[in-house]
Amino acid sequence: SRTVRRDADGVVTVGGLDVKTLAEEFGTPAYFLDEEDFRARCRAWREAFGTGADVYYAGKAFLSRAVVRWLTEEGLNLDVCSGGELVTALDAGMPAERIALHGNNKSTEEITRAVEAGVGRIVLDSFQEIARVAHIAQRLGRRQQVQIRVTVGVEAHTHEFIATAHEDQKFGIALAGGQAAEAVRRALTLDGLELTGIHSHIGSQIFDMAGFEVSARRVVQLLTEVRDEHGVELPEIDLGGGLGIAYTSDDDPREPHEIAKALGEIVTKECEAAGLSVPRISVEPGRAIVGPTAFTLYEVGTVKELEGLRTYVSVDGGMSDNIRTALYDAEYTVALVSRTSDAEPMLSRVVGKHCESGDIIVRDAFLPSDVAPGDLLAVPATGAYCRSMASNYNHALRPPVVAVAEGSGRVIVRRETEEDLLRLDVG
Catalytic residues: 355
Segment near ligand LLP (CB under 6 A), from 54-62, 131-139, 186-194, 272-280?
54-62
CA distance 105 to 171: 10
CA distance 275 to 195: 20
Q: Per-residue contact track with ligand LLP, 216 to 245, x per CB under 6 A? A: ------------------------xxxx--
Element housing 157 (H / E): strand 155-157
Task: Give me the phi and psi of 156, to 5 degrees please.
Answer: -110, 130
The answer to whether 45 and 70 are in contact (CB under 8 A) is: no
103 near ligand LLP, judged by CB under 6 A: no
* Least distance between ligand LLP and beta carbon 409 (Å): 25
253 near ligand LLP, judged by CB under 6 A: no
Segment near ligand LLP (CB under 6 A), from 23-31, 69-77, 253-261, 286-294?
286-294
CA distance 204 to 317: 26
321 near ligand LLP, judged by CB under 6 A: no
* Least distance between ligand LLP and beta carbon 229 (Å): 26
* Least distance between ligand LLP and beta carbon 342 (Å): 36
Q: Is 98 annotated in some ligand binding site?
A: no
284 near ligand LLP, judged by CB under 6 A: yes
CA distance 325 to 362: 7
* Least distance between ligand LLP and beta carbon 271 (Å): 22
Tell the burial category of 85 from Cβ atoms under 10 Å away from its Cβ (0-12, 13-18, 19+): buried
Q: Is 197 helix (H, G, I), strand (E, B) or coil?
A: strand
DSSP state of 63: -
83 near ligand LLP, judged by CB under 6 A: no
Three-class DSSP labels, 219-283: HHHHHHHHHHHHCCCCCEEECCCCECCCCCCCCCCCCHHHHHHHHHHHHHHHHHHHCCCCCEEEE
204 near ligand LLP, judged by CB under 6 A: yes
Q: Is 287 annotated in some ligand binding site?
A: yes
* Least distance between ligand LLP and beta carbon 253 (Å): 11
* Least distance between ligand LLP and beta carbon 101 (Å): 11
* Least distance between ligand LLP and beta carbon 137 (Å): 21
The answer to whether 207 and 156 are in contact (CB under 8 A) is: no
Q: Count interface residues toward ligand LLP (CB under 6 A).
A: 20
61 near ligand LLP, judged by CB under 6 A: yes
Among 324, 353, 354, 387, binds ligand LLP (CB under 6 A): 324
Among positions 144-203, residues that touch ligand LLP (CB under 6 A) are: 201
Among 79, 213, 270, 316, binds ligand LLP (CB under 6 A): 79
CA distance 150 to 284: 15
Segment near ligand LLP (CB under 6 A), from 28-36, 256-264, 279-287, 367-375?
279-287
Segment near ligand LLP (CB under 6 A), from 82-90, 261-269, 281-289, 349-357?
281-289
DSSP state of 196: E
Element housing 216 (H / E): helix 210-230
* Least distance between ligand LLP and beta carbon 149 (Å): 7
285 near ligand LLP, judged by CB under 6 A: yes
Among positions 347-366, residues that touch ligand LLP (CB under 6 A) are: none
212 near ligand LLP, judged by CB under 6 A: no
- Residues 6 or more apart whose CB falls under 8 angstroms from that of 422 comprise none
Query: Could you tell me which of 154, 148, 100, 153 has the C-alpha nearest to residue 125?
Result: 148
Q: Is 409 annotated in some ligand binding site?
A: no
Q: Is 75 annotated in some ligand binding site?
A: no
Beta bridge partners of 241: none
Q: Is 308 annotated in some ligand binding site?
A: no
Segment near ligand LLP (CB under 6 A), from 248-256, 284-292, 296-304, 390-398?
284-292
Please report the DSSP string for 69-127 in residue order. Answer: HHHHHHT-EEEE-SHHHHHHHHHTT--GGGEEE--SS--HHHHHHHHHHT-SEEEE-SH
DSSP state of 190: -
Amino acid letter, residue 21: T
Q: Is 255 annotated in some ligand binding site?
A: no
Q: Is 286 annotated in some ligand binding site?
A: yes
Return binding residues for pyridoxal 5'-phosphate.
242, 284-287, 385
Residues that bind ligand LLP (CB under 6 A): 58, 60-61, 79, 102, 201, 204, 240-243, 284-288, 324, 328, 384-385
Return binding residues.
242, 284-287, 324, 328, 356, 385
Return binding residues for substrate.
287, 324, 328, 356, 385
